[in-house]
Structure 1
């Protein structure tokens, strides 16, 4: 991030903590890196990573499309004016409402199982998601291309689904493969693309190969792009990609203040953000960089513990900090993806505000919730 400690202190002072801050410069830079690597590939943002409307509008204005995996995400795409070839509808268990809205918007559907062909609205465009059944070098909960995952059809089923699409009068655009998230080892992508090439001669003509996303923040993007383009070329297809975390993670930081410390079985620094603000560490052991925004003599090793009455409410373990005191400010990095998006109202905790920094100015892009916001729907039901 290009934001300095002074920037972050000023934001925390003005808007309070916990607080999500985003750097517009880094968001634009990530998109530029993707386009530099993948060239002519069409880019669809995996909205689930961070669906904030301000960020979506910014990406939409830069020609990015959207991959939607819920009725609410489709509604967001519609709300910002995305339609037609700018929308992909994905997901393993789509509702009738998703098919209907997707059809009205002219979206492309990604089929996740054989019997989904019969559920499509008339004359739909569709891709068939293939599960390459690999051992993926990421957390098990993130390995969507593993044989035991719930996603996609098998290599053997894929040609049948394409044929069924054509027989039903739909446009069978091509194939889709997305093997997981936070994958740093490019060999996983090489293996997935290699499995797809086994289908040459069995699929009929393909217009699109959607190579998904899932690239780790330190992955060899240019190497992955070369292989993806080469695989698309074997089918004579256009390449599509679906970055999510890669596009927004490094643009976002979660700011949290120290509440106090305690020394029991371990050394704990207690902070005002936790699992309700950033679930990834508890959900699948994600490790986020932690930066103390103060200087003081004497360092120690601490676990960052949130305020929830849950033993698993830890943002990080074994972090080296200079003698933390109440009021100190910490920056949790790489939090722009699946941070605010996964935040919750568990314990009736109000979700934090979100602010965007651009050209020296902070803009509130989501106000901090109040307890009244949380129970409004309950009062209305009574």
Structure 2
């Protein structure tokens, strides 16, 4: 995390709520991935944080992009990426995604049998496989469970590969992504092993895409070892798709205390809430909190946002010194799915985003004005 003095400086210059990113930590996360996965091809999962300045930074570091919408493909095109540096993923792609993907020459992830007939002519494709496992993460994040909407069953894989080839497409290989924020390396071991069992039916393949979803603090080297082994079973090149792992530790959300309230529970009221960071409400996500104030009297507080919703809580039962109006609170690990999932609910303008790079602040998204939010309304 950036120093307290730098965070205070950012809040004073740009106001709060404010997303703050550290370019050095972004680079450190990428180095951890490359150290673990060696020569694997790395695609950044754009949905984790689509800010153009951050994407440009990652593209400059040699990463490709994993895109799951037409808008994300447009961002990749705007930054000059094309061909083998883009993956088009998702369970229900639009015709616009197929058309733009064809023009850019992307690799399509086939998510269901019927999608083979929707691909543009002579596409490159990977087949997404759902290993139907019990995944140690929130149900909403478990994309490799039997109840998930993603991927084809292992039994369908030979059929889909055959259909791709017969339709004139280049069937590169297999793709698996079992979820997000997963810390138990055994989940990945089980998923890769399940796909490796298909080798006798698929023969050698060009690509084994092991996805992402590694939780912060997970045994990355152990996961990488299993992914490399699975790729080796298919004599395939290894691809990976980190998102949250790269950007979450590189970003924090700064919020200011606006007051306190004692009504049977202690509430620390702040100027950020579900509209700025919805993960606690949506996934029960626990973000580390750091108060930038001192005090000897520590009590347990619920950190509550300003939305007129009972669920607008950023954290419960957090030990904090007595807060006062104007104090700054740092919400950590907020660089992924924070600003990306922020909303204008209640006509709340989305926060600014700043990047600390080479000793300087860079405003990479200005704070919206309320009047901008209704410009498209008639």
Partner of 2:232: 233
- Helix, strand or coil at the partner of 1:156: helix
Q: Distance in 2 between matches of 1:330 and 1:221?
A: 30
Alpha-carbon RMSD across the aligned residues, in angstroms, is 0.6
Q: Trace 1:339-358 onto structure 2 (pairs within 5 A).
A: 339-358=338-357
Partner of 2:312: 313
- Helix, strand or coil at the partner of 1:224: helix
Partner of 2:269: 270
Partner of 2:46: 47
Partner of 1:173: 172
Partner of 2:124: 125
Deviating above 3 A after TM superposition, structure 1's stretches of 4 or more consecutive aligned residues are none
Q: Distance in 2 between matches of 1:185 and 1:251?
A: 22
Partner of 1:217: 216
Q: Distance in 2 between matches of 1:61 and 1:298?
A: 48
1:288-323 CA-to-partner distances (Å, cap 9, x unmatched) read: 000000112311110000000000000001111111
More off after superposition, 357-366 vs 15-24: 357-366
Partner of 2:98: 99
- Helix, strand or coil at the partner of 1:215: coil
Distance apart, 1:198 and its partner CA: 1.2
Distance apart, 1:41 and its partner CA: 0.3
Structure 1's unaligned 5+ residue stretches are none
Q: Distance in 2 between matches of 1:200 and 1:49?
A: 32
- Helix, strand or coil at the partner of 2:158: helix
Distance apart, 1:376 and its partner CA: 1.0
Q: Distance in 1 between matches of 2:33 and 2:355?
A: 21
Q: Distance in 1 between matches of 2:315 and 2:228?
A: 38
Q: Distance in 2 between matches of 1:134 and 1:116?
A: 24
Pairing 1:113–2:112 present? yes
More off after superposition, 353-362 vs 46-55: 353-362
- Helix, strand or coil at the partner of 2:249: helix
Partner of 2:248: 249
Partner of 2:21: 22
1:68-125 CA-to-partner distances (Å, cap 9, x unmatched) read: 0000000000011110000000000000000000010010000000010000000000
Q: Distance in 1 between matches of 2:11 and 2:342?
A: 19
TM-score normalised over the length of structure 1: 0.98
- Helix, strand or coil at the partner of 1:157: helix
Partner of 2:278: 279
TM-score normalised over the length of structure 2: 0.99
1:142-161 CA-to-partner distances (Å, cap 9, x unmatched) read: 00000010000000001100
- Helix, strand or coil at the partner of 1:205: coil
Distance apart, 1:338 and its partner CA: 0.1
Q: Distance in 2 between matches of 1:135 and 1:187?
A: 11
Aligned length: 378
- Helix, strand or coil at the partner of 1:25: helix
Distance apart, 1:265 and its partner CA: 2.6
- Helix, strand or coil at the partner of 2:73: helix
1:127-153 CA-to-partner distances (Å, cap 9, x unmatched) read: 000000000000000000000100000
Pairing 1:338–2:337 present? yes
Structure 2's unaligned 5+ residue stretches are none
Q: Distance in 2 between matches of 1:266 and 1:75?
A: 47
Q: Distance in 2 between matches of 1:313 and 1:48?
A: 23
Q: Distance in 2 between matches of 1:170 and 1:265?
A: 63
Partner of 1:295: 294
Distance apart, 1:204 and its partner CA: 3.1
- Helix, strand or coil at the partner of 1:192: helix
Partner of 1:359: 358
Pairing 1:161–2:160 present? yes
Partner of 2:56: 57
Q: Distance in 1 between matches of 2:99 and 2:283?
A: 34
Distance apart, 1:19 and its partner CA: 0.2
- Helix, strand or coil at the partner of 2:108: strand
Partner of 1:146: 145
Q: Trace 1:68-83 onto structure 2 (pairs within 5 A).
A: 68-83=67-82
